[in-house]
Chain A
Amino acid sequence: MEKIGIEQISLAFGFIILMLGLWGILSRKNIIKIVLSFTLFDTGLNIIIVAIGYLKNKTAPILDSAELQTDTASKIVDPLPQALVLTSIVIGLGVTSLLLVYALKLYKEKKSLFINDYKDLKW
């Protein structure tokens, strides 16, 4: 049997974190905790993306050494997922901060961070 490599480990790890985040999102009642669970969810997602781009025995896609200048594609890992992760992290930051702004505003309205208190609109 082939040895379990770093990519499988990180992929599994990513999924575990993602699921932890999802569990938090669905089960926590405190709004701040829900927001934190979202960041956990995003982190898990980002790890998965990087893990998918990883190829065994290949190096980082930074073309500084002369050796990498020839036959590049077979020597480096896929650079695209890493670029995507950067974008994804930035977006995650934006979303988290906006969520926190909402949390703040909600707290100002009712002095409560209990999500069940905000059921003004229904049916």
Chain B
Amino acid sequence: MVNPIYIVAVLLGVAFTSGFFSKKGKNIAGYLSMLALGFVSFVSLQWLHGFLSEQQAAAQIFTTAFKPPFSINLLMGKEEAVFTSLINIMGLIGGLYLFRKLKETGSNAFIALLLLIMGLNVIVMTRDLFNLFVFMEISSIAIAGLIILSQNVKSISSGFKYMLAGGLISGMLLLGTVFLYYFTGTLNIDGMLQQNLNLVKGSSVAVFLVITAIVLELKPFPANGWGVDVYEGADAGISALISSAYATASVYVFMKLIPVASEQFQFLIAAIGIITFVASNLMGLRQSNPNRLLGYSSISQIGLLMAIIGLSSVIGESTNFIVISILVSHYFAKAGLFWISGIIKTNSIRDWSVLRHSKILLVSFGIFIFALVGLPPFPSFFGKWELIMNLSGSHNFIWVTAILVGSFLEAAYMFRWLGYAIKLELPSEIKPVIKLNKIIPVILFAASVITAGYFTGMNHEYGKLINYIPLAFALAFVLIEFLPVFIKNTLAIAGLALYFYLNYQSYTDISRIFAAIFLLGGILTLLAGYAYKGKRLGFFPFALMMFAGLIGLIEAKSTLEFFYAWELMTIGSYFLIIRGKKSITHALSYMLFSIGGAYLIMAGLGIASIGKADLTLSILHQVTEYAPLVFILLAVGFMTKTASIGLHIWLPGAHAEAEADVSPMVSAILLKAGVFGLLILLMAMGEQFIGKVSIPYLLSWVGALTALMGNMMAAFQEDAKKLLAYSSIGALGYAVFGLSLMSHLGWLTAISFSITHFMLKALLFLAIGGVVWRLKTKDMYKMGGLIKRMPFSFFSVLIGIIVLAGVPPLTGFSGKWLFYQAVMEKQWFLQGAVLFFSGIIAFLYCFRLIHAIFLGQLKDEHRNVKEAPFWILVPQYILLAVLLGFSFLPGSMLKPIGNMLLPFLPDGAIHWNGQLATTVYGYWNGKTVMIIIVGIFSVVFGWLWFMNRKARKIKQFNIVYAAERPFRPETTHFAYNFFAPYKKAIGFLVAPGITNFWNRIDEGAHAVSDKFTKLYNGNGQTYLIHIVAFIVVIYLISFGGF
């Protein structure tokens, strides 16, 4: 092992040497500096490796012949190795990024960089308080020197504010240090820790001064205007250094010193941290300048870390794991984002669509955003999970709420930004110049954060149980993106099929049904993908990621695996949805509802884990405390995916705008994840009560109202795909209602309904998708008379709506029959009536669908339109065959499901004799009904055909047989505003009240954000007043003024 003192020696030595190089020698100074930074990175990494392989013991380094407290000593332990490695790598890679800029200025710039990194190393390693002060000053001076490299007024004024604030804070630190020395007789941090400072008289003011100074360095709200300004004003490369290297060191200083403070004071600081986290993210909402936005985000992340460290007495031994995993994500992501910002150089996040000029930058951008928000498989995902589990496991619900609210706000502006980059139009005037030395750091850090995520997972007790194979399979498609669709599609289908074949026996009963919906459904919808030509970039990795998540839900044994799979599914589906043409807002609202729901699920799982040693999913069976709360959190979380009333506004747009084969994926398959979640929740926790009200009873109303609202909205849509999307909302309402019945019949209905809905919605979305594919419009009033042009699609839709409407003889009817049996058994007649009414409305939109599109007059421009692509028809006809089969033999589907339910709800209530089902209220034989109806149909059809065999076929505009000559063919079409009278009567019920509600929340958040940011008026002196006021307020709080 190389002695860590060489880190200091080499950096200082090279810095001094560089001073001797004249302007001409600046190249040599540059290369020498990079070499030095490379060397120190090697030293710290070597130590880190030693600690990780557990051969190494922490080493003390003494700077003189004396031992502390008579000399300054450095410590190289595991944490120090981690932190110095991060700092030195940032120095090296950040130096590479800044290389050209530094070289322009000359060797002095390299000296400043070396001194900064040297100072930060010592800050981390030193155990001497005064030494700490000195090197913090050196680092600040170095940063101020680097900021001034950019000679523009923004940069200079931000640097000046930074120096003013830094001067005040360091004065306070020095004062505190000297007082601590006065009271304890030592400057050695370990020496201070050995004395119980709470007992040392007078020392509390000294501790207050030191800790508050360190807290101020971490830029707490609201005394942090100078910090935000620096992030915006400085060159992006420098901001990256500040945000990653400097903040990393400051966090470690805070970790090192916080044990000096009393527990009460630690809580106070944690509170400051969490306020900073929430407030900064709130203010991030209204930012449009990328660097300023990143500044707010940086400050918020450090605030979160401050809170975590302050709460370490509550969190216990996993504090270090949490801090490091969140810090590492922040470190890589923030550096990467600042670097990208420095490459494309725009003042508005709306211009970030220029990233699409460089695929690799766009991908890296996405990776950084996901890492920052804390989605899998990045380190912060595990950190946040552990944090929430710990805090909610120890009843700290207020902290959990604040953390989740802050995280949600951050996700909101980050995903809005990502959406801009992916979807907004390319600004023509900006074309980024991409230099190799700037893009390599970005790629390196993007790759590193993924690797770091993997290692974090492997170091987590439950993280290492996660099955990464499906995700790896999905990501492998990134490497073969250059292949044509045909090959990739075949590989994807083969992958899903093989996975299902290998594993389906290991899935237990009900899981097997959902596994079949997810995987076989996936194969079916992928079949339609053969219709696409070209490469279809970015489709397969995400589609497969969604399926990986879905199957992960089935396979999950522990709560973490379940949550991981849930998030994975969300990521995959987000990218599928955002592929649609006008889906930028819909994808964002989908993501926000998903993340909000996921946080509720996380909190619910956390509260469920109170008092449990191991976190398998079975903890839900034994929730002892707060059971109703856990139930509600999880149920609402799952209902964001089933799009129940109130949480549905993301769905119509997202599903309608999606591509022809994506709509069935997200509508027919993805929504069932929510049903699956609700099902396992109800299985595990049974009926819960709030006071005397049963939660499933409330759920039944949610289901019934969702069905009513969804179906009504569907009836009034002009857009065929939106109609189907709203119909999905309604259908999922039925499923939720069925589950809420908590009876054998109810669940049987819900599950069989899920299967039927999967088939019919896939069928309809594919058929309509095929029509839209050819017609290039989704508006039904622009269609009509397509029966002759697209007979196969017509037949699909016909069968689809017969099933959907629940008329005999198809399987939809058996579903309805069962449904009413279940309602009667439970005697929830009111909800039953609402559902019955919704069923009637379903007839309306079903009729509209087939009439407006396929019947009536053919439009002029559609005279030569072709049948839907072959590959879009293939899955439809497979589905048709299965649907007809189930309709003919309903017992073959329902009986096995009933058997699976017996262990949970033993009261069978339904008896099977062949295909004859009997309940107390009646009986039903699918086979007989089918035969009778097909018989009657054939007789009537045959009779009509026989009678009309001599009828003469005429063309559409044969005026001899028509009452009038259509002036313009379009005007003959009455599909527009089809149900106008109904709309007049009950239209007020479907006014967009819920959408308005969420919009108002959004506006409110932005308004508050606006108010908060007005604090930062840009005046350096005001910022100083903020700092002084902050100190006074904290002093009054901690010493009893308030």
Q: Which of B154, B163, B174, B1014 contacts A121 (CB 8 A)?
A: B154
Chain A 81-120, CB-CB to B under 8 Å as 1, else 0, gives: 1001001100100110011011101100110000110111
Decide: A95 near B1021, CB < 8 A? Known: A45-B175, A105-B148, A105-B156.
no
Query: Is B167's CB within 8 Å of the partner chain A?
Result: yes
Decide: A120 near B1020, CB < 8 A? Known: A94-B141, A95-B141.
no
A121-B167 in contact (CB<8A): no
Say whether chain B's binding surface is mostly helix, strand, loop, or mixed.
Answer: helix
A120-B1018 in contact (CB<8A): yes
Decide: A49 near B178, CB < 8 A? Known: A102-B163, A120-B157.
yes
By a CB distance below 8 angstroms, the chain A residues around B158 are 121
Say whether chain A's binding surface is mostly helix, strand, loop, or mixed.
Answer: helix
Decide: A95 near B163, CB < 8 A? Known: A49-B178, A105-B156, A121-B229.
yes
By a CB distance below 8 angstroms, the chain B residues around A4 are none
Decide: A98 near B144, CB < 8 A? Known: A84-B178, A120-B157, A121-B1018.
yes
Query: Is A68's CB within 8 Å of the partner chain B?
Result: no
Query: Is B924's CB within 8 Å of the partner chain A?
Result: no
By a CB distance below 8 angstroms, the chain B residues around A22 are 168, 1028
By a CB distance below 8 angstroms, the chain B residues around A106 are 153, 156-157, 160
By a CB distance below 8 angstroms, the chain B residues around A119 are 1017-1019
Q: How many residues of B contact A (CB 8 A)?
A: 47
A75 to B182, CA, bound (A): 18
Nearest CB of chain A from residue B446's CB, rounded to whole Å = 29
A46: nearest chain-B partner, CB-CB: B174
Which residues in window 467-483 of B have CB below 8 A to A? none
Q: Which of A45, A99, A103, A115 contacts B174 (CB 8 A)?
A: A45
A34 to B292, CA, bound (A): 27
Nearest CB of chain B from residue A50's CB, rounded to whole Å = 10
A105-B151 in contact (CB<8A): yes
A10 to B1018, CA, bound (A): 38
Decide: A122 near B157, CB < 8 A? Known: A45-B174, A99-B167.
no
A41 to B1027, CA, bound (A): 15
Nearest CB of chain A from residue B286's CB, rounded to whole Å = 8
Query: Is B646's CB within 8 Å of the partner chain A?
Result: no
Tally A-B pairs: CB < 8 A. Answer: 117
Query: Is A26's CB within 8 Å of the partner chain B?
Result: yes
A22 to B1029, CA, bound (A): 13
A26 to B1031, CA, bound (A): 14
A31 to B1025, CA, bound (A): 15
Nearest CB of chain B from residue A41's CB, rounded to whole Å = 6
By a CB distance below 8 angstroms, the chain A residues around B153 are 106, 109-110, 118, 120
Nearest CB of chain A from residue B731's CB, rounded to whole Å = 46
A48 to B159, CA, bound (A): 29
Query: Is A80's CB within 8 Å of the partner chain B?
Result: yes
By a CB distance below 8 angstroms, the chain B residues around A45 are 171, 174-175
Query: Is A58's CB within 8 Å of the partner chain B?
Result: no
A121-B145 in contact (CB<8A): no
A52-B179 in contact (CB<8A): yes
Query: Is B873's CB within 8 Å of the partner chain A?
Result: no
Chain B 573-598, CB-CB to A under 8 Å as 1, else 0, gives: 00000000000000000000000000
By a CB distance below 8 angstroms, the chain A residues around B181 are 52, 80-81
Nearest CB of chain A from residue B62's CB, rounded to whole Å = 18
Q: Which of B154, B157, B171 contacts A41 (CB 8 A)?
A: B171
A62 to B850, CA, bound (A): 103
Q: Which of B174, B233, B1014 contacts A88 (CB 8 A)?
A: B174
By a CB distance below 8 angstroms, the chain A residues around B228 are 121
A109 to B286, CA, bound (A): 29
A107 to B97, CA, bound (A): 30
A62 to B148, CA, bound (A): 43
Decide: A25 near B1024, CB < 8 A? Known: A105-B148, A119-B1018, A123-B1016.
yes
Chain A 33-76, CB-CB to B under 8 Å as 1, else 0, gives: 01000100110010011001000000000000000000000000
Nearest CB of chain B from residue A49's CB, rounded to whole Å = 5
Query: Is B294's CB within 8 Å of the partner chain A?
Result: no
A95 to B292, CA, bound (A): 26
Nearest CB of chain A from residue B161's CB, rounded to whole Å = 8
Which residues in window 1-44 of A have CB below 8 A to B? 18, 22, 25-26, 29, 31, 34, 38, 41-42
Q: Which of B145, B174, B1024 contacts A98 (CB 8 A)?
A: B145
Nearest CB of chain B from residue A70's CB, rounded to whole Å = 20
Which of B145, B187, B1021, B1024 has the most C-beta atoms of chain A within 10 angstroms of its own C-beta?
B1021
A79 to B1009, CA, bound (A): 52
A118 to B157, CA, bound (A): 6
B1015: nearest chain-A partner, CB-CB: A123
Minimum-distance CB pairs A-B, first 7:
A122-B1018, A119-B1018, A118-B157, A123-B1013, A121-B229, A109-B153, A102-B160
Residues of B participating in the A interface, judged by any CB pair closer than 8 Å = 130, 134, 137, 141, 144-145, 148, 151-154, 156-160, 163-164, 166-168, 170-171, 174-175, 178-179, 181-182, 187, 228-229, 232-233, 286, 292, 1013-1014, 1016-1021, 1024-1025, 1028
Q: List 28 A-B contacts (CB under 8 A).
A: A22-B1028, A29-B1021, A31-B160, A34-B1021, A41-B168, A41-B171, A48-B178, A49-B174, A84-B130, A91-B134, A91-B137, A95-B137, A99-B163, A102-B144, A102-B156, A105-B156, A106-B153, A106-B156, A106-B157, A106-B160, A116-B1019, A116-B1021, A118-B153, A118-B1018, A122-B1016, A123-B1013, A123-B1016, A123-B1018
Q: A26-B1025, A29-B1021 are in contact. List 9 more A-B contacts (CB 8 A).
A: A26-B1021, A81-B178, A95-B166, A98-B144, A102-B159, A118-B1018, A119-B1018, A119-B1019, A123-B1016
